[in-house]
Structure 1
Amino acid sequence: MTKSFVTPVGFADAQQGLAHLFVRGLVVEAEIGVWAHEKGRRQIVRIDLDLAVDDPRAAGDDHKKVVCYEWASNEVRDIVATGHFNLVERLAECLAERLLSDARVHAVRIRVEKPGAIRGADAAGIEIVRLRAPNPETPL
């Protein structure tokens, strides 16, 4: 199977009615890692979120009608609190799935970093992009 490069997701796109909601450098303590010295202890994990969300103009000034960055941050904290993750990849996938559960979120880019995981590097981790699955009942 040959992999091809994909066109980057436009997180803000007026023609598609999308705005870009983001959270940068959210620091949480997570139980994460596969090595024995990582089990049973918390480590600092830094998370960046990018969400393509419904254009907020229709909401006026009503925060209840928009996707809120505090909501997204709290979802991250809730998932991290569920228990141990062996892989940063799995944590990123769980975050993507949860954030995409809001119908107003159309795409996510999630970066999960473990600061100090590699000697001589600021951080190591993963970045994923996930798109909302099309609704089979919505005509194309």
Structure 2
Amino acid sequence: MSVIPLPHEPAAPEPEVRAVMSKVFVRGLRLDIEIGAYAHELGRTQPLVIDVELDAPVAGAQGLGDVVNYEKIVKAAKAIAAEGHIDLVETFAERLARACLADPRVTAARVRVEKPHALAPDAEAAGVELTLVKE
């Protein structure tokens, strides 16, 4: 945002800035997937609540080709779910983080997966949060 100088003040130069990193995120994605390691969890779907946060530069972006498209995050999560039964939420979270890191602009991926019915009625949810960082 430029500041309009008053008539008696000289215009201040725009400060030099650079984007260190931006966060691209999807929060509260709800998917029903086949997940669980116990016998009573096999052959049925359960809800997951998924949050993804990616470190990726977006400063100076002019169009979709310049940024990490968060719709691709949702598509990746759905594709992993469509592959079939997964025993652990940790496995799901790591697969999704790795899928996000496939974009060369993404330097880190944080994925949080909640399984709302895991400990009902004693707890609201159980799950995992992991972060993978490119070296």
- Runs of 4+ deviating beyond 6 Å: none
Q: 1:16 to 1:130 in 2, by over 3 A?
A: farther
Code of the aligned partner of 2:61: A
TM-score where L is the length of structure 2: 0.82
TM-score where L is the length of structure 1: 0.79
**Does the residue aligned with 1:89 lie in a helix, a strand or coil?**
helix
Give me the whole-angstrom Cα distance separating, in 1, the residues matched to 2:111 and 2:98.
11
Shift, 1:105, TM fit: 0.6
Q: 1:16 to 1:59 in 2, by over 3 A?
A: closer
Give me the whole-angstrom Cα distance separating, in 2, the residues matched to 1:126 and 1:117.
12
Shift, 1:15, TM fit: 5.8
Equivalent pairs, count: 118
For 1:106-117, what aligned pairs fall within 5 Å after superposition? 106-117=107-118
Shift, 1:74, TM fit: 1.0
Give me the whole-angstrom Cα distance separating, in 1, the residues matched to 2:105 and 2:75.
17
Shift, 1:58, TM fit: 2.5
Greater Rg by CA = 2
Equivalent of 1:48, from 51, 54, 59? Answer: 51
Code of the aligned partner of 1:126: V
**Does the residue aligned with 2:94 lie in a helix, a strand or coil?**
helix
For 1:65-84, what aligned pairs fall within 5 Å after superposition? 65-84=66-85
Gaps of 5+ in 2: 1-16
The answer to whether the aligner puts 1:30 opposite 2:45 as a matched pair is no
